[in-house]
Chains A and B, each alone.
Chain A
Amino acid sequence: MHKQNSESAEDVIWENFRKRAEELQARSRSMRRVSADEKTRIFQDRAHALRQEKDKPVGDQDVLYLISFYVGGEFFGIEVKYLQEVYETAQVTEIPCTPDVLTGVMNYRGAVLTMIDLSILLDLRRDTYRKEAAGPSKDVKGQNMSPEKVLIVAHAGIKAGLRIEKLDDLLTLPRNVVQAVSSFFRDKNQIVKREAKRGNRPLLIIDPEALLNDERLIVNEDVS
């Protein structure tokens, strides 16, 4: 009797296993199909998003279009009108006898493009940034870390690539929320002239004109 009981108990266990396996199989099959509720929800969300955009009563004159990103743990923004493209490259070729700010050149659609390291340019502590950057970069772990995102900035015929750690979002900010940075910051650095509050963080808006015309970017060295 005992043996039979144990056998029947084992039978029950295996029966449960079999049921679970069948259920899992059925669920995996059903996962491929999107249920009607799911569809409804997706469409509703989309409609809501569209409605929100339309509801915004803002004129072009009063609005700034910004791309926000992270470099060296700091939150930066740059106006879309100066941006040509967000590009991704896996290979950056370093050029000798150039300042550290110019980290190298890259192949941008068949053309050679100079790349600028903002962290050096803005005198951000690289170590700190690297450490801090390791935090948010965890979210994208497993994805291609090696290819770096590069913001292709163009102004007045000068084109350069800004190496960034992480792309944040495309922002639409009213002009009135943008204000000038503190005088201390302005004296020290000509590149960041304005800032805006984004949540609880300050969004430092980079002036591409000043950036591209920075004297540190001018290479004037002879190599013997």
Chain B
Amino acid sequence: MKAMSSYSKNTMQRKLMLIIVLTLAIGLGCVSFLSIKNDIDNIKNAEKNHMDLLSNVIVEGIKNAMVTGNAPIVINWLDSIKKSNGLLELKDYRRDGLAAFKNNDTRKEVNEWLGGKRFTLRISPEIPTPFDPTRMEAFNQAVNTSEAVSYDEEIDGEPAFTRLVPILKDDRCILCHGYDDHPVRSILQISVSKIATIEAINRDIVRAVISSLLVILVIGFIMSLLINREVIHPITEAVSRISKAAHSQDQITSQQASSVQEITATVEELNASSKQVNTKAESLAAQSQKALFVAHEGQKAIDESISEMNKIKKKVADIAEDVLTLSENTNQIGAIINVVGDIANKTDMLAVNAAIEAAKAAEHGKGFAVVASEVRSLADQSKKAAEKIETLIQEIQNSVNSTVMTTEEGGKKVDIGVTHILQAGSTINTAIETISSTADAANEIAIASRQESLANDQVAEAMGQINRGMQASSAATKESLSSIRALQKRIDRKIQETKKLSDQQQ
């Protein structure tokens, strides 16, 4: 991390330094250029003025000398001036471009104008050298406009400033040169060496450049220190933090990516489960419908059961009534049996009395006694049978009583059964309500789960997009991390260089 932070720091420093140095260089360069240009102009103006002065002096000298009519003085004077330092050329040319004062052409014309041989001709006339043919245009311009023309040229490999000054005809000249109407008598060429000027300019430039460089160096060093302290350090820290942040962001991104993958998996599971829920809910709804049908059937069955139970109750009541009728009949039998018993008793009595009579009759009543005994036995049997019947009737009465009680119990049981069935009916009603609400709920669940499934699909898609975005972001983070590392390396190098530089300077 440290390396990475110092790395970015050095890059920053380097860039800032570059900008500052460039700005300084451009600014100082402009300033220097302007001052140098100004100097050069000044120098040139001074030169020009110098030249004007010189040319005017020479022209006036020539004119004054010529007024005396002594041309050789002029020639000598010019030759003597010509030897002065810095003056490369000083020549007077006639309008036709030939050097003056060399042959006798002008003397002959003047002599002819004045009539007679006023001025002596040269004994050995020289052949006049012509004006530089390459500069004839400037020469003609000076001749035609009667004004000085300046230009730069090179004479004998030496830069020179040349001025062509026309020597104008004035009143004094007419005496000798009245034949000539042209205002320009001749063109004076003055060429001054430019080496001095150029050297001065060069010195100026060198000085400016050196001073500029010095200033740049000093300011750059100070700025470097300042930047290092005030800007680079915080920036380095910032870069370090950014690097940390990037690193942690990378981690977070990868964590998020795994989280997103987990979420995607979970969402897929959710999707599957919601589809299952959907199927289950649909089947539940169908089964609820079936259950509803069954419950309605149960309701019908309960209604039928209730009517059947009521029938059973009626039947039980009928049985009780029948049994009571049977009891009454049995009571009638009892009454009859009482009569029978009574009869048996009476018969017994009669038999006893008959036996008594038979006994009284002694031998004659013997057969009758047997019959009486037989009758008595029959009466006894009848009595016993009647007693038995009595007992049986008692038992029957008991049975009838218990049967009546049983039927009553049966009726009560039927009532209880009806109550239970009614409870079952209400339970089934509740079940029907519950089942229908269950069916509704199942339908709602089915719809909701379908929607949930769709939503899950969308979520899965979104998660996929997020995942892709995360991967891209992770790649970008890694890339930025690597670029930060590279920057860090460069900054480190720069810092070392700066240290070396400062060490050397110290």
Q: Which residues of A are at the interface with B, using a C-beta cutoff of 8 A?
A: 46, 49-50, 53, 60, 65, 67, 80-81, 83, 85-88, 139-144, 149, 167, 170
Contact, CB under 8 Å: B363 / A85: no
Residues of B within 8 A of A86 (CB): 349, 352-353, 356
Across the A-B interface, give the 10 residue pairs with the lowest CB-CB distance, nearest first: A65-B359, A80-B359, A170-B355, A142-B390, A86-B352, A143-B341, A53-B370, A80-B356, A83-B356, A60-B362
Contacts beyond the supplied A49-B373, A170-B356, A170-B372: 8 A-B pairs with Cβ under 8 Å: A67-B352, A80-B356, A86-B349, A86-B352, A142-B390, A143-B341, A144-B341, A170-B373
Residues of A within 8 A of B338 (CB): 142
Cβ of B322 < 8 Å from any Cβ of A?
Answer: no
B324-355 vs A, Cβ < 8 Å mask (1 yes, 0 no) = 00000000000000100110011011001101
Main secondary structure of the interface of A (DSSP, over half): mixed
Who on chain B is nearest to A59 by CB?
Answer: B363
A96 and B318 CA atoms in complex are apart in Å by: 59
CB contact between B352 and one of A53, A60, A65, A167 (< 8 Å): that residue: A167
Cβ of B461 < 8 Å from any Cβ of A?
Answer: no
A68 smallest CB distance to B (angstroms): 11
CB contact between A85 and one of B353, B362, B370 (< 8 Å): that residue: B353
Known contacts A46-B374, A88-B349; is A60 also within 8 Å of B359 by CB? Answer: no
Q: Which residues of B are at the interface with A, using a C-beta cutoff of 8 A?
A: 338, 341-342, 345-346, 348-349, 352-353, 355-356, 359-360, 362-363, 366, 369-370, 372-374, 376, 383, 386-387, 390
A121 and B98 CA atoms in complex are apart in Å by: 231
A182 and B57 CA atoms in complex are apart in Å by: 232
Who on chain B is nearest to A149 by CB?
Answer: B349
A46 and B374 CA atoms in complex are apart in Å by: 8
Residues of A within 8 A of B342 (CB): 143-144
Known contacts A86-B349, A170-B352; is A49 also within 8 Å of B374 by CB? Answer: yes
Residues of B within 8 A of A67 (CB): 352, 356
Contact, CB under 8 Å: A81 / B352: no
CB contact between B359 and one of A49, A53, A81, A88 (< 8 Å): that residue: A81
A72 and B271 CA atoms in complex are apart in Å by: 109
A80 and B360 CA atoms in complex are apart in Å by: 7
B390 smallest CB distance to A (angstroms): 5
B438 smallest CB distance to A (angstroms): 29
Q: Pick 14 A–B contacts, CB within 8 A, sort by A.
A: A46-B374, A53-B366, A81-B360, A83-B356, A87-B349, A88-B349, A141-B387, A142-B387, A142-B390, A143-B345, A143-B386, A170-B369, A170-B372, A170-B373
